[in-house]
């Protein structure tokens, strides 16, 4: 199969020209180069191509320095794993060396060696991503399909290449469900069976890797439906037993959309707010979400422990160290009685403060020492329970507390 016409039809003109130049230059250096993976998948589905991925049967870093100088390019990044990102004709292109991968253990990062394009396609996650199209001029647009990827595109299937795929790399479980939700494809029968059997391997992934995959799920346009699929495939329980389910996740997400929460972390605030208090900090630790979100989880626990008939001073004491975001989030879903306490704290109790200090108390004859701190604390507690006082009122209260002591 040749997709020469599809390349010209689907790619933007700058994309097409950039790929043409790269194919010609790699050919002159005596190496085969191919468009691969999602680039070919999206081309064949006639979807917009946002990423250009090219595999070269050599170290691309060594070759691009030998390109004809009339084709200027910028190096964006370069890694130790024989990959680099360049910009040519203002188009970002990811270049990688064709490689083999051996997984020493389930969930471990692979050991990588150089290989042919045929070997490289064999290490891919799914058949629809194991397609390549040659960009060398003599074979421009020729599709390499070793794993029936074209057939699966027609059948709208997501299918793994071999039975050990999910065991080798359990993050493929997330990707399988993401592609299913994004493309509207079904998970092929044997792949579905393998996914259900191998979900236990998710426990071997680090919290960082799980969080990265969840972030990708949450960034999808139809994240809610993908999250629902994760629930259907019983993936969430293998991450943590307290993971929320649909539709409560999408409902809570809608509730929180008007709160000023940092965008990259928004969904994790949603997630944490849905976890039962006795499991919340454990999940945050499992996903390695960091100190800020750990503080948020602790704050929510403090809020949710607040008893309905708490006094004004008890409300103040419980909430005074709690973040504004935690209060805003809790207000969106808390029962009416707790919401009233939160509103009281935000609108009144939080604004109450002392107008006097130790020097003012010593000026009216109260000796320096622990007694000053005790009196100031009593004045603040009194105001929290009874309402704010002017500076003169606070001085009168200080005299009274001192005389009563």
Let me know: does 128 contact 178? Beta carbons within 8 Å. no
In this predicted structure, what is the pLDDT of residue 366? 92
Same domain, 2 and 106: yes
Question: Would you state the structure tokens that stand for residue 127, as one six-digit string?
Answer: 């058949």
| CATH value at residue 169 | 1.10.110.30
Same domain, 12 and 98: yes
Query: Which of 36, 60, 184 is CA-nearest to residue 118?
Result: 36
Percent of the chain with pLDDT over 90: 71
Q: What's the mean pLDDT when you consider all of the chain?
A: 91
Query: Which of 218, 158, 214, 207 is CA-nearest to residue 184?
Result: 158
| CATH value at residue 87 | 3.30.460.10
Question: Would you state the structure tokens that stand for residue 326, as one six-digit string?
Answer: 């935690």
> Which of 212, 238, 264 delimits the end of a domain?
238
Query: Which of 134, 148, 121, 142 is CA-nearest to residue 3?
Result: 142
- Which residues neighbour 310 within 8 Å (Cβ) at sequence distance 6 or greater? 318, 341
Q: Considering the domain boundaries, does residue 200 fall inside one? A: yes
Residues in the chain: 405
Let me know: does 210 contact 287? Beta carbons within 8 Å. yes
The tokens 């933007």 sit on which residue?
A: 12
Same domain, 21 and 128: yes
In this predicted structure, what is the pLDDT of residue 288? 93
DSSP secondary structure letters along 226-240: HHHHHHHTT-HHHH-
Same domain, 363 and 329: no
Same domain, 165 and 78: no
Q: Considering the domain boundaries, does residue 347 fall inside one? A: yes
Let me know: does 251 contact 244? Beta carbons within 8 Å. no
Q: Find the angle CA(172)-CA(178)-CA(181) to the nearest 5 degrees.
A: 145
Beta bridge partners of 86: 75, 93
Let me know: does 50 contact 11? Beta carbons within 8 Å. no
Q: Considering the domain boundaries, does residue 244 fall inside one? A: no
Let me know: does 128 contact 152? Beta carbons within 8 Å. yes
In this predicted structure, what is the pLDDT of residue 61? 85
Same domain, 29 and 87: yes
In this predicted structure, what is the pLDDT of residue 28? 94
CA distance 253 to 48: 28
Same domain, 213 and 256: no
Tally of domains in the chain: 4
Same domain, 169 and 234: yes
Per-residue model confidence as pLDDT tens digits over 331-361:
999 999 999 999 999 999 999 989 999 999 9
Q: Find the angle CA(342)-CA(344)-CA(348) to the nearest 5 degrees.
A: 130
Same domain, 366 and 326: no
Residues of the chain short of pLDDT 70, as ranges, are 107
CA distance 268 to 286: 13
- Collect contacts of 401-405 with beta carbons under 8 A, ≥24 apart: 401/375, 402/361, 402/365, 402/366, 402/371, 402/375, 405/371, 405/374, 405/375
- What domain range is 333 assigned to? 249-351
> Which of 210, 238, 266 delimits the end of a domain?
238
Q: Considering the domain boundaries, does residue 19 fall inside one? A: yes
Same domain, 46 and 97: yes
Let me know: does 144 contact 156? Beta carbons within 8 Å. no
Q: Considering the domain boundaries, does residue 290 fall inside one? A: yes
Q: Considering the domain boundaries, does residue 243 fall inside one? A: no
Helix axes 248-256, 324-333, angle to 10 degrees: 120
Q: Considering the domain boundaries, does residue 106 fall inside one? A: yes
Same domain, 342 and 369: no
Torsion of CA 273, 277, 281, 287, to 10 degrees: -50
In this predicted structure, what is the pLDDT of residue 110? 77
N- to C-terminal Cα separation, the chain:
94
> Which of 98, 125, 148 delimits the end of a domain?
148
Same domain, 6 and 99: yes
Q: Considering the domain boundaries, does residue 97 fall inside one? A: yes
């Amino acid at each position: 199969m040749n997709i020469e016409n599809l390349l010209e039809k689907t790619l933007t003109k700058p994309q097409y020209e950039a790929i043409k130049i790269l194919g010609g230059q790699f050919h002159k250096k005596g190496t085969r180069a191919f468009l691969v993976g999602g680039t070919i998948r999206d081309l064949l589905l006639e979807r917009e191509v946002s990423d250009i991925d090219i595999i070269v049967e050599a170290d691309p870093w060594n070759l691009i320095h030998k390109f004809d100088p009339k084709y200027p390019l910028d190096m964006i990044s370069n890694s130790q794993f024989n990959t680099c990102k360049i910009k040519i004709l203002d188009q970002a292109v990811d270049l990688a060396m064709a490689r083999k991968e051996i997984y020493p253990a389930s969930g471990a990062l692979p050991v990588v060696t150089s290989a042919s394009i045929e070997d490289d396609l064999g290490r891919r996650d799914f058949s629809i991503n194991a397609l390549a199209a040659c960009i060398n001029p003599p074979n421009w647009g020729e599709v390499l399909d070793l794993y029936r990827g074209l057939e699966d595109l027609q059948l709208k299937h997501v299918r793994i290449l071999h039975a050990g795929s999910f065991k080798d790399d359990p993050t493929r479980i997330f990707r399988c469900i993401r592609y299913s939700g994004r493309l509207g494809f079904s998970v092929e029968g044997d792949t579905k069976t393998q996914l259900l059997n191998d979900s236990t391997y998710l426990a071997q992934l680090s919290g960082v890797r799980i969080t990265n995959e969840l972030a990708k799920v949450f960034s999808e346009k139809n994240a809610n439906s993908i999250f629902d699929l994760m629930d259907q495939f019983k993936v969430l329980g293998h991450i943590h037993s307290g993971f929320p389910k649909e539709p409560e996740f999408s409902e809570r997400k809608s509730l929180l959309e008007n709160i000023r929460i940092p965008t990259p972390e928004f969904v994790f605030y949603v997630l944490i707010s849905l976890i039962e208090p006795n499991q919340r900090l454990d999940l945050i630790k499992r996903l390695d979400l960091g100190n800020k979100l750990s503080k948020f989880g602790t704050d929510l626990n403090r809020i949710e422990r607040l008893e309905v008939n708490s006094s004004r001073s008890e409300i103040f004491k419980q909430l005074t160290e709690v973040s504004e975001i935690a209060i805003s989030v809790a207000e969106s879903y808390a029962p009416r009685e707790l919401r009233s306490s939160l509103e009281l704290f935000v609108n009144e109790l939080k604004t109450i403060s002392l107008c006097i200090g130790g020097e003012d108390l010593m000026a009216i004859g109260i000796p320096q020492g622990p007694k000053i701190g005790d009196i100031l604390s009593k004045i603040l507690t009194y105001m929290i329970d009874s309402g704010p006082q002017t500076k003169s009122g606070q001085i009168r209260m200080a005299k009274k507390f001192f005389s009563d002591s």
